């Protein structure tokens, strides 16, 4: 079979190739010299499969795409409170290099604009780190996200540093507000080194897939940053990742993303894939023209907008019926699919409505997953029913509820048959035994 995904990527690359609008970044002389025809795109799944088309192994500087990853490092190293005290999470609606800080606190509005990213760079590692050790931590962290050792481009770094007047002005302003506590020049130097790290489109897709995969690199298996950090980073990318085009992006594309002035662009679709594109010509916001078009295509062709409502899951309650009669009659609620809050709510209603018998079996054989809130809701309901004197059985051969003992007093069985027959012949005995066991 001809591979479907690479064919699709080749086709969309062809569609955007003819668009030669925009221009490579001009304010960093070395970037202005980039070959504007370069074009690449890659998907990396959370299982570590990489699909690509075009120049996916050409290196270019990461620039602002480093910002979400270095933000993740600072949050992991210093904790949320100390990072949030210095850098906010509000979209600015302004250009990436605007010299603007929050009026009362002097904090940069968010970590995706330069003022925020310069501050975030200073928050990586411990407070007493030497600037060079901090840069090493940053490059090491970016390498862990990419699962290969990354290096910097000295020419681009020197070119940017020679023209870093705005970033230096911002750093001095941050220092005057007490947001930066270290030498302003050293921090901008470190931040510029961070921006000059060389990556390929393939690397960026894997880095984005690490975010999509709750912080675990799908190739190395390394948990690069903790899960709560990833949630914070993706949220900020969603609201602030595309500079002053963030609102358009959120509505039209709807994928947490980050662009860089060298022409790279990443998106992370939580639980699915990391996407990266590379094309050096930029629009007026500083985002890659062809990169933006590619993402617009992916979002609409493949339903990747985060706010697309998934087709309503099949009803969680598959059936409700009673077996037997008299005191031994057993009501069976057969559940299916993945259960979240809304599904658990419908199970509670079904339990209320159908619970005419003294004995109830919740059959989870066809349930493939249950989230934490749904698990707690079901266990609370079974706990209340057992306290009311009912006998509840949990048919859970795959242990989708691994530890029902903490919230519910019920009997676990592997099949509905066991709930109907010996050793649970008299349900009261089975249930009683379990209750006594828990009480010991």
Q: Which of 260, 263, 274, 404 binds ligand GLU (CB under 6 A)?
A: 260
Based on the residue annotation, tell me whether 27 is a catalytic residue of this protein.
Answer: no
Q: How far apart are CA 262 and CA 286, in angstroms?
A: 9
Taking only Cα atoms into account, the Rg of the chain, rounded to an integer number of angstroms, comes to: 27
Q: Which one of 41, 51, 66, 67 is the catalytic residue?
A: 67
Q: Which is nearer to ligand GLU, 24 or 52 (CB)?
A: 24
Based on the residue annotation, tell me whether 243 is a catalytic residue of this protein.
Answer: yes
Q: Which is nearer to ligand GLU, 141 or 430 (CB)?
A: 141
Least distance to ligand GLU, CB of residue 341, Å: 39
Check if the beta carbon of residue 203 is closer than 8 Å to that of residue 196.
no
E-assigned strand segments in 26-152: 40-45, 50-54, 60-61
Handedness of CA 263, 196, 82, 217 (dihedral sign): positive
Least distance to ligand GLU, CB of residue 142, Å: 14
Least distance to ligand GLU, CB of residue 221, Å: 30
Least distance to ligand GLU, CB of residue 87, Å: 15
Q: Which of 92, 114, 336, 431 binds ligand GLU (CB under 6 A)?
A: 114
Q: Is 40 helix (H, G, I), strand (E, B) or coil?
A: strand
Site for ligand GLU contains 159 (CB under 6 A): no
Q: Which of 64, 119, 147, 299 binds ligand GLU (CB under 6 A)?
A: 64
Based on the residue annotation, tell me whether 67 is a catalytic residue of this protein.
Answer: yes
Based on the residue annotation, tell me whether 258 is a catalytic residue of this protein.
Answer: no
Q: Which of 293, 343, 296 is nearest to 315 (CA)?
A: 343
Residues 163-182 that bind ligand GLU (CB under 6 A): 167
Angle at 418 between CA 412 and CA 424, to 5 degrees: 80
Spell out the SS3 assignment of 155-186.
HHHHHHHHCCHHHHHHHHHHHHCCCCCCCHHH
Q: Which residue has the tokens 């209320």?
A: 352
Q: Which one of 71, 191, 393, 424 is the catalytic residue?
A: 191
Helical axes 201-212 vs 131-146, angle rounded to 10°:
80
- Residue 393 has phi, psi (to 5 degrees) of -115, 140
Q: Which residue has the tokens 């690449």?
A: 40
Site for ligand GLU contains 195 (CB under 6 A): yes
Based on the residue annotation, tell me whether 71 is a catalytic residue of this protein.
Answer: no
Least distance to ligand GLU, CB of residue 416, Å: 59
- How many residues in the shown chain lie near ligand GLU by CB under 6 A? 11
Check if the beta carbon of residue 293 is closer than 8 Å to that of residue 277.
no
Q: Which is nearer to ligand GLU, 54 or 286 (CB)?
A: 286
Least distance to ligand GLU, CB of residue 363, Å: 54
Q: Which of 45, 58, 97, 346 binds ligand GLU (CB under 6 A)?
A: 97
Q: Which is nearer to ligand GLU, 283 or 371 (CB)?
A: 283
Query: How would you class 371 by CB atoms within 10 Å of its CB: exposed for 0-12, middle for 13-18, buried for 19 or more?
Result: middle
Q: How far is CA 84 from CA 71, 173, 294, in A?
A: 11, 18, 33
Site for ligand GLU contains 286 (CB under 6 A): yes
Q: Which of 253, 261, 292, 401 binds ligand GLU (CB under 6 A)?
A: 261
Applying CB under 6 A, the residues found at the interface with ligand GLU are: 63-64, 96-97, 114, 160, 167, 195, 260-261, 286
Q: Which residues are catalytic?
A: 64, 67, 191, 243, 261
């Amino acid at each position: 079979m001809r591979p479907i995904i690479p064919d699709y990527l080749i086709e969309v690359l062809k569609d955007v190739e003819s668009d030669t609008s925009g221009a490579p970044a001009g304010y960093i002389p070395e970037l202005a010299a980039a070959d504007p025809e370069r074009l690449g795109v890659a998907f990396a799944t959370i299982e570590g499969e990489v699909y690509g088309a075009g120049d996916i192994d050409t290196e270019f500087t990461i620039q602002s795409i480093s910002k979400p990853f270095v933000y993740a490092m600072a949050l992991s190293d210093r904790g949320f409170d100390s990072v949030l005290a210095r850098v906010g999470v509000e979209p600015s609606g302004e250009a990436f290099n605007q010299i603007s800080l929050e009026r009362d606190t002097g904090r940069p509005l968010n970590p995706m604009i330069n003022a925020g990213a310069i501050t975030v760079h200073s928050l990586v590692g411990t407070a007493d780190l030497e600037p060079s050790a901090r840069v090493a931590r940053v490059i090491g962290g970016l390498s862990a996200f990419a699962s290969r050792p990354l290096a910097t481009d000295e020419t681009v770094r020197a070119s940017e540093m020679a023209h870093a007047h705005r970033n230096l002005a911002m750093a001095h302003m941050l220092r005057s507000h007490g947001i930066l506590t270290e030498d302003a020049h050293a921090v901008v130097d470190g931040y510029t080194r961070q921006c000059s790290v060389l990556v390929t489109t393939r690397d960026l897709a894997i880095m984005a897939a690490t975010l999509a995969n709750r912080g675990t690199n799908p190739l190395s298996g390394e948990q690069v940053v903790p899960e709560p950090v990833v949630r914070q980073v993706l949220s900020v990318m969603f609201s602030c990742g595309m500079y002053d085009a963030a609102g358009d992006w959120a509505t039209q594309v709807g994928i947490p993303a980050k662009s860089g002035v060298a022409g790279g662009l990443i998106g992370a679709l939580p639980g699915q894939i990391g996407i990266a594109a590379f094309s050096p010509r930029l629009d007026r916001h500083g985002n890659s023209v062809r990169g933006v078009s590619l993402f617009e295509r992916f979002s609409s062709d493949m339903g990747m907008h985060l706010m697309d409502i998934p087709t309503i899951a099949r009803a969680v309650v598959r059936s409700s019926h009673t077996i037997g009669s008299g005191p031994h009659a057993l009501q069976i609620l057969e559940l299916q699919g993945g259960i979240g809050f809304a599904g658990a709510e419908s199970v509670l209603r079904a339990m209320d409505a159908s619970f005419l018998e003294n004995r109830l079996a919740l059959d989870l054989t066809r349930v493939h997953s249950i989230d934490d809130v749904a698990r707690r809701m079901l266990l609370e309901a079974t706990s209340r029913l057992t306290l009311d004197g009912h006998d509840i059985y949990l048919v859970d051969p795959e242990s989708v509820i691994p530890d029902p003992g903490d919230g519910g007093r019920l009997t676990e069985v592997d099949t509905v048959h066991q709930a109907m027959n010996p050793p649970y012949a008299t349900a009261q005995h089975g249930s009683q035994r379990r209750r006594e066991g828990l009480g010991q």
